[in-house]
Amino acid sequence: MSGQLFLTGALIVTFLVLSLAFVLIVIRIVKGPSLSDRILALDLLIAVAIGYIAAFGISTGYSIYVDIAIALGLVGFLSTIALARFVLSRRTKSDDEDTTGEGVKADV
């Protein structure tokens, strides 16, 4: 088995696994139950995206995509911070919390 062939196979596996990971993350986002769970899932989604970009760089041979990974590594957490802030802010406005039907306890 040549290295190229192995790499091709490995990449197919990688992409499939990464896709599966995406799906699982989406399931967590759908299921929740809390805001924090969903934010965590988005955070992980961005991490997986970094991996995906790396794998894509390998599969195409265009290494320039790595810069996108750098940027994502740096700014990806910005959205998590902002959302965490959002979570915190809800405490101070507890009088009219989400009427999501998911239960107040679950959806904090």
Partner 1 sequence: MPPFPADLMLYASLLPFAAAFIAPWLVGRMGHNAGWVLAGVPALLFVLFAAFLPGVAAGTVTTYGIDWAPGLSVRYAHLIDGLSLTFALLITGIGTLIVIYAGGYLKGYAHQGRFMMFLLLFMGAMLGLVIADDLITLFVFYELTSITSFLLIGFDHKREAARRAAVQALVITGGGGLALLAGLILMRVVSGETSVSGLLAMPDVLRDGPAYTAIALLIMLAAFTKSAQVPFHSWLPNAMEAPTPVSAYLHSATMVKAGVFVLMRFSPNLGDTALWSIMLTGFGGATFLTGVILGIRQTDLKQILAYTTVASLGLLVMLTGVGTDYAIAGAVLYLVAHALFKGGLFMVAGAIDHETGTRDVRVLGGLLGKMPVTFVAAFLACLSMAGLPPFIGFVAKEVLYNGVYEAAWLPTIVSLIGNTLMFTIACVLLMPFFAKPGALPKSPHEAPPSLWLGPIVLSVIGLFSALFLGSTLSAVVLPMANAVAGGPVDTNIHLWPAGLKPPVVLTLITVGSGVALFFVYGRVRDGIAGLLTAIGWGPDKGFDQAVRGLVGASWRVTNFVQPGHMKLYVSVVFLAVALALWLPPIFGGFPSLGGTGALAAPYHFAVLAIAVAGVIIVIVSKSRIVAIVSLGIQGTMVALIFMLYGAPDLSFTQFMVETLSVVILALVMTRLDLDAVDHRPRPVAMKDAAVAIACGAGFSLMLLSIVQIPFNNTLSEFFLTYAYDIAHGKNVVNVILVDFRALDTLGEIAVVMGAGIAILALIRLRARVSA
Partner 2 sequence: MNTLIFRTVAPYISALMVLFSIFVLLRGHNEPGGGFIGGLIAASAIAIYGIAYGVRAVRQAIYIHPNVLAGVGLVMAALAGFASFFAGKPFLTGLWYLPTVSGVKLPISNVLVFDVGVYFVVVGSVAAIALSLEESD
Partner 3 sequence: MSDLFLYLTGILCMIGAFFVLVAAIGILKLDDLYMRMHAASKAGTLGSGVLLVALAVFAGESDVVLRAIAAFVFFLLTAPVSAHLLARAAYTIGYKPCDATHMDALADREQMAPKSH
Q: How far is CA 94 from CA 12, 99, 104, in A?
A: 48, 11, 10
Q: Which of partner 3, partner 2, partner 1, none does 24 bind, CB closer than 5 to 8 A by kind? A: partner 3
Residue with token string 């405490």: 91
Site for partner 3 in 26-85 (CB under 8 A): 27-28, 34, 36-37, 39-41, 43-44, 47-48, 50-52, 54-55, 57-58, 63, 66-67, 69-70, 73-74, 76-77, 80-81, 83-85
What are the residues whose beta carbons fall under 8 Å from the beta carbon of 33, sequence distance 6 or more?
Answer: 102, 103, 106, 107
Q: What does the DSSP 8-state code read for residue 63? A: G
Cβ proximity to partner 2, 54 vs 84, nearer residue:
84
Binding mask 69-88 for partner 2 (x = CB under 8 A): -xx--xx--x--xx-xx--x
